[in-house]
Amino acid sequence: MLDIKKIRVDFPILKQQINGKPLVYLDNAATSQKPQVVIDSIVNYYTTINANIHRGVHTLSQKATDAFEQAREKLQKHFNAKKSYEIIFTAGTTHSINIVATGFTSLLQKGDELIVSAMEHHSNIVPWQMLCERTGAVLKIIPMNSAGELLMNEYGKLLSKKTKLVFVNHVSNALGTINPIKEIIDKAHQVGAAVLIDGAQSCPHIKSDVQALDVDFYVASAHKLCGPTGVGILYGKEAWLNKLPPYQGGGEMIKEVTFEKTTYADLPHKFEAGTPNIAGVIAFGTAIDYLNNLGFDNIATYENELLQYATKKLLQIEGLKIYGTSKHKTSVISFNIDKIHPYDIGTIIDKLGVEVRTGHHCAQPIMDFYKIPGTVRASFSFYNTFEEVDVLYNALIRAKTMLS
Ligand SMILES: *Cc1c(COP(=O)(O)O)cnc(C)c1O
């Protein structure tokens, strides 16, 4: 059982007032708030051990390197990677996907097929479209039903010997749907295709075991997991990471450089050119510790209670329609009220201190599927309360009265 009152004290930003009202932060699917330990971790790094890593013989550099590599081991343990060097630090999910999509350029041929789902974030669509343009590979789409669930039979029909890669988000940021990724991975492997799972939206709610999943690539962003912005991971199976060419050239990623020929460093350095976000990586490790101390099972249980309560409550509002009604979903509620534009609702409830996302949530194909311009999205974290759900409800009633 989580002590939410106590947990909220860890998050200094939550004490704030917005437009004269207590902040009700319900945009966690866009980014999470940061506990004091994560903020302290960044400040401590810069106040006590700031130095460049992997380069110096001096004490500070060694301390910084140790802290950086400890973070890698924390991430390895968290995701149960076999080797710590299978965890590559990147700037985030988008960066991680681009590393893989660019790396596949030389591995594909015209007519090869790639499979994506109908409910992806743009960052798990566009890099692959660019890959298709470069290679002549063809993109196939797993359709979904109106509840926001993938049609797994259709997925089965898309798979063939031509399929080289499948990339699907574990959880949809716009709908909250938890996809059956184990089944997706196993079916892809039966035809010899590799799988990338976009874990950006699942990571704050579900602890994934990359070995149990047998996934080839798994990507995530620290900022959705109570960590800082500008940091993320690319997990890849060792054999795949060795097969892919480096994404960027520069310092740190080489073994030997002459003007005739350069040889690349071993993993993970091959994919970590240049000075990384050292403070961010260390703070990412702190965030992972923080969440594991709370316990992912406890987090999921509490967030599911919030979701059930909020769903029931919001459905009492006449004319409110929820998009994404899968049985398996995280604490995200995407909705519209009558014909009111989501932006207008967002603007009014912001005046009441309630912060939600409005728009297409970087997932335009989903909005096209439902034939809507966008939704209002309330996304809940473990530090949100039942009282905040009530504040949201009252704010929506107020907005509806004003706008209709
Ligand atoms: C947030 C998100 C991304 C993009 O993450 P960045 O941190 O912006 O790179 C990709 N996919 C999903 C499902 C997301 O929720």
Query: pLDDT (tens digit, 9 = 90+) per residue, 96-152?
Result: 999 999 999 999 999 999 999 999 999 999 999 999 999 999 999 999 999 999 999
Q: Are residues 354 and 237 in the same domain?
A: no
Is pTM beyond 0.95? Reply is yes
How many H helices and E strands in the chain?
14, 17
316 C-alpha to ligand 1 centroid (Å) = 31
Look at residue 56 and tell me whether its pLDDT is greater than 90. no
Tens digits of residue pLDDT in 292-322: 999 999 999 999 999 999 999 999 999 999 9
Picking from 263, 292, 321, the residue at the C-terminal end of a domain is 292
On average, the pLDDT of the chain sits at 97
| CATH number of the CATH domain containing 285 | 3.40.640.10
**What pLDDT was estimated at residue 168?**
98
Using the predicted structure, report yes or no on whether residue 41 has a pLDDT greater than 90.
Answer: yes
Residue 216 is assigned to a structural domain of this protein: yes
At 350, which CATH number?
3.90.1150.10
User: Nearest C-alpha to atom 1 of ligand 1 is from which residue?
Assistant: 200
Report the separation in Å between the CA atom of 168 and the middle of ligand 1, taken as the mean of its atom positions. 12
Let me know if residue 223 belongs to a domain.
Answer: yes
Is the domain of 207 the same as that of 88?
yes
β-pairing, 21-22 vs 17-18, is antiparallel
Instruction: Verify whether ligand 1 is closer than 6 Å to residue 169 (CB atom).
Output: yes
Residues 201 and 250 in one domain: yes
Catalytic residue numbers?
A: 362
Residues 299 and 237 in one domain: no
Identify whether residues 389 and 253 lie together within a single domain. Answer: no
In a domain, 34, yes or no: no
Are 121 and 175 contacting, i.e. CB atoms less than 8 angstroms apart?
no
3-state secondary structure of 166: strand
The answer to whether position 33 is within a domain reads: no
* Same domain (yes/no): 266, 346: no
Atom index in ligand 1 nearest the CA of residue 123 equals 10
150: CA distance to ligand 1 center in Å? 19
- Based on the fold, state whether residues 226 and 118 are members of the same structural domain: yes
Please name the amino acid found at residue 225: L
What integer pLDDT is reported at residue 252 of this predicted model? Answer: 84
Domain hosting residue 317, numbered range: 4-28+295-403
Number of domains in the chain: 2
